[in-house]
A and B are shown apart, each in its own frame.
Chain A
Amino acid sequence: MKSKAPFRFFLIHPKVVILEWNLKPNQFLLSDLIAFKNKIISHFKDVIQVTQGYHSLMVFYKNEVSKETEEHLNSLYESLVQTSLKKTKLWKIPVLYNLEVGPDLKSLAQALQISPASLIEQHYSVIYQVQFIGFLPGFLYLNGLPKSIAYPRKTTPTPKVSRGSVGIGGEQTGIYPQESPGGWHIIGKTPYPLFQPTKKHPCFAKAGDRIEFYPITESEFTTISEGISAKTYKIIPQ
C-alpha cells in the first residue's frame, strides 16, 4: 500500500481549518476526501461540520483551534485505511431536452459542430459523479462530462436561469436548483426538486453518489411534475 499524499494545513480563521491536497482531482482523492471527512466528523466532538471542494476540506470547529489540531488531524489521516467508494447511490434524473426549456441547445450544438440530437445523446449516455455540493443550496458539482460536448461558459451570464435547468459550462455539467443568474449553456430541464429546505435531508444526493440523466417527453415531464406536487412521485436510488 503506498503511503497517502500529505495535505497542507492552513488556518484561515481562528475556528476554521483548510486541508488541501496538491493533486489534480481524481477518483482516489475523492474517496479519500469523503472517508476522511466522515472520520473527522465522527472522531472529533468539537467539529461542527466539514465542507468539501475538488481537492480540499474545510473543518469548522466550535472553539478556537489549538496547537495540537494539525497533529491530531495528521494522525487521524494516517490511521485511515485505504478507501474506496462502495456504498454510493445511483440516481436517475429525468430530463426534458428541447429548445423551449433548453434555449441554448441549438447554439451549443452548432458551436460544437454536432447535431442537437447527438449533443443530447452524449449528455445522457454517461454516468456522472457528485464531487461535492456548493455554489447554491443543492447544487451538485458533477464530473464525467464527455470532452466532446465540453464548451466554455457564455461571456455574459443570462440574468435568469429557471429552476431545474440543466446546463453545460466548461468541462462541467449541472442542474440549477433554484432560479439564478448563470453563464452555462442550458440544454434541458428536470422537474425533480433538487433542494427542499424543510425536509430532514434537503438535498437527495451526497458527495460520491452517481447521477445518470435520462430523456423524457413533454407529457412525461408534466406527469412527473404532477406526481411531485401530489407527493406520489419519488426518485429512488439504485
Chain B
Amino acid sequence: MIEVLHPGIYSSIQDAGRLGSQSIGVPISGAMDRVAMQWANSLLNNPLDSAVLEMSFKGPKLKFHEATTIVLSGADMKPRLNEKKIANNHPVAIKEKDILHLGTAYHGCRTYMAVAGGIQSPLILGSRSQCRGITPDTIISKHKLISFNKTPFLQDKGARVHIAAPLENKKDIPVFKGPEFHLLSEVAKKQLLENRFTISMDNSRMAYVLKEKINVTLPSIWTAPVLPGTVQCTTGGVLIVLMRDAQTTGGYPRILQLSDQGLNLLAQKSTNDSFYFSITPLNE
C-alpha cells in the first residue's frame, strides 16, 4: 500500500486507457505521455502498459507501507526519498515507511511513477485509468491508499538506460491533415503551419485551448467522431487540441490530427508553452 500524504496538484492512476468503448461515449484516457509511462514500466520489467501514477505540475508526498521498487520518468520533479535526492529513470528500492516527496515539474509538466508489478486499482471497462464518470474518483486524494502488486523486482544485469534528448525540448509537433483541413483558405493554412502557437490557461487532460487564433469563417459540421490529438477549429478560429480524456464526438471542423508522438510531446507542455505544427504526409 502507498498512502497519499499530500496528493500534489493533479495526480491520477493511468494505464494505456479504454480503447474499445468509444461507441458508448467513453473517453480513451490513459497516460498523457505514453512514452514516459512505458519507459518507467520497461525499467522495472513490468508489462509496458501496467498502471502508473501520473503526476502533473507539482507532485505528491507518498508514504510506502510495504517495500517495493519504483521508477520515476518524464518531467523532473526533483524527487526526494526520505529527504535524500533520487534520480529519474533508475530503479529505486523502497523500504517500508519510506517517504517519497516530489516537487515542481521541470523539463516537462508530467512525471510518472511505475511500481514493480504495477499499481492495482479496479479494472473498469478494461482499464484502471481514472476518468470522470467512469471511475469512482478522478484523482488521488489525501489519505487514500494505493495498492500495488507485490512482485519482487529482478534487475537485469547491465540494464542501463540511456534516454534520448528530453522530449519536451522539441518545438515541432508532428501532425497529419484532418478531414476538414481542405475547408481552410490558403491564408488560414499558411497561418496554421507557419505560426507559433501557445497553450492557454485553459488546458487539461481533456483538451488544450490555444491562445492564437487563425482567420477563418468555418461552418460547424454534423457531429462526428474525434480522437485524442484531433485539432478542432471553432467558428471563430480558436484552436482546441483534444487530449487523452477527450469526448468521443464533436461538432467543430477537425483540421489537424496529432501523431502519437505529437500527442506525447504536447502532453509535457502546459500553460504559456509554445510550439509549431509540423505537417507529416499520411493521407495524400
Contacts and interface: CB of A to CB of B under 8 A. Distances in A.
B249 A12 contact: no
Contact of B23 (A51, A54, A55): A51
Interface stretch (A72-80, A105-113, A194-202): A194-202
B176 interface: yes
A12 B224 contact: no
A146 interface: no
Name the residue among B23, B135, B230 with the largest chain A CB count within 10 angstroms.
B23
Contacts of B93: none
B193 interface: no
Given A13-B176, A60-B19, A134-B248, A203 B257 contact: no
Interface in A167-203: 177-178, 195, 197-198, 202-203
A20 interface: yes
B164 interface: no
Interface stretch (A95-103, A119-127, A136-144, A219-227): A136-144
Contacts of B27: 137
A55 B222 CA distance: 7
Contact residues on B (Cβ < 8 Å of other chain), bracket: 20 to 34
A25 B222 contact: yes
A117 B27 CA distance: 37
Contact of B225 (A56, A177, A195): A56
B249 A51 contact: yes
Contacts of B224: 18, 20, 53-56, 58
Nearest to A50: B23
Contacts of B259: 13-14
A25 B221 CA distance: 12
Nearest to B124: A197
Interface of A: 10-14, 16, 18, 20, 25, 48-58, 60, 132-139, 141, 177-178, 195, 197-198, 202-203, 207
22 contacts: A10-B179, A10-B283, A12-B178, A12-B227, A12-B283, A14-B259, A49-B23, A52-B225, A53-B249, A54-B224, A55-B222, A55-B224, A56-B222, A58-B224, A60-B22, A134-B25, A178-B132, A195-B133, A197-B26, A197-B125, A202-B21, A203-B25
